[in-house]
């Protein structure tokens, strides 16, 4: 059964009494004949620059769909409405006659999509910055841990050196004791020699004085080295705790870097998905 163009278009027009209610609030729909808009339902979130009776422009989507008998898809820039709008214009064709009777226009706000893209971009930027900071933190923590190990090694070497000094001091003490004994023996021999041993007695006394001074110096040095050794042991203990903390920080920084990289990858996927909406 053949349907006339008037009947076909009238049925489409009647359908528009209920059709717009099927669309979400961020969608505007319109119906045109070949010359002008005959039905317009504006979106709650944006208004198109058309109303019932608005004449179709030659370079507009409706005229293009009428001429080509093909669907026309266009995107309006963000500057026009504060967010981008995707418009789909479908030619109304009476299959019985093959005539193009007008167009159905559907404009969808991309505000939500734009917001998702904006959030995804912000998240991607933040995650990239977080990744860079985490990697830098991990690198610094590793360097700090390595430096702590080096300092600990130097402190241990210093402690070993002081331990070796103990052996040297023991040797000097033995020499001092031996020298003192030699001086004592020399003094005894000088006393036996009487007047002839007086000069030798002076030398013997100087030897004993030198031995006494050496022994006193060894005691002072030993006390100083013990204090230094105690300080170094405290430093080593502190460094060991600090090294352990540095290693934990390095491990945590590595985990943070890995997590931030995962966030960055997720943000990139979200951004890619948002662009496909």
CATH code for the domain of 95: 3.30.450.40
Task: At 164, give phi and psi (nearest 5°).
Answer: -65, -35
Distances from the Cα of 178 to the Cα of 69, 187, 188, 192, 217, angstroms: 121, 14, 15, 21, 16
pLDDT, tens digit, 9 for 90 and up, residues 213-223: 766 766 777 77
Residues with pLDDT less than 50, the chain? none
Task: At 266, give phi and psi (nearest 5°).
Answer: -65, -40
Question: Which among 82, 109, 136 is the end of a domain?
Answer: 109
Question: Are 26 and 150 contained in the same domain?
Answer: no
Return the pLDDT at 128.
74
The range of the structural domain enclosing residue 135 comes to: 115-276
Return the pLDDT at 226.
74
* Token code pair at residue 239: 């460094």
* Number of domains into which the chain is organized: 2
Return the pLDDT at 38.
94
Question: Which among 80, 109, 138 is the end of a domain?
Answer: 109
Return the pLDDT at 85.
84
Return the pLDDT at 220.
73
Which letter does DSSP use for residue 179 in this model? H
Question: Are 167 and 250 contained in the same domain?
Answer: yes
């Amino acid at each position: 059964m053949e349907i006339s163009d008037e009947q076909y278009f009238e049925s489409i027009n009647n359908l528009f009494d209920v059709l717009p209610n099927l669309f979400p609030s961020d969608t505007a729909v319109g119906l045109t004949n070949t010359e002008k808009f005959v039905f317009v339902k504006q979106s709650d979130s944006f208004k198109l620059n058309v109303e019932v009776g608005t004449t179709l422009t030659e370079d507009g989507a409706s005229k293009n769909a009428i001429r080509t008998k093909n669907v026309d898809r266009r995107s309006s820039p963000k500057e026009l409405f504060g967010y981008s709008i995707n418009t789909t214009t479908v030619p109304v064709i009476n299959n019985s006659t093959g005539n193009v009777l007008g167009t159905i226009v559907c404009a969808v706000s991309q505000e939500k999509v734009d917001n998702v893209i904006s959030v995804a971009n912000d998240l991607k930027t933040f995650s990239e910055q977080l990744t860079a900071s985490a990697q830098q933190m991990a690198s610094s923590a590793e360097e700090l841990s390595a430096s702590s190990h080096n300092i600990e090694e130097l402190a241990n070497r210093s402690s070993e050196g002081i331990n070796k000094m103990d052996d040297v001091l023991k040797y000097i003490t033995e020499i001092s004791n031996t020298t003192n004994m030699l001086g004592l023996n020399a003094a005894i021999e000088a006393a036996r020699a009487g007047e002839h041993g007086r000069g030798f007695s002076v030398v013997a006394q100087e030897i004993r004085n030198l031995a006494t001074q050496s022994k006193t110096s060894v005691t002072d040095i030993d006390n100083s080295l013990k204090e230094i050794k105690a300080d170094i042991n405290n430093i080593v203990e502190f460094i060991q705790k600090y090294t352990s903390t540095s290693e934990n920080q390095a491990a945590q920084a590595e985990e943070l870097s890995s997590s931030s990289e995962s966030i960055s990858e997720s943000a990139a996927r979200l951004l890619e998905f948002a662009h496909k909406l």
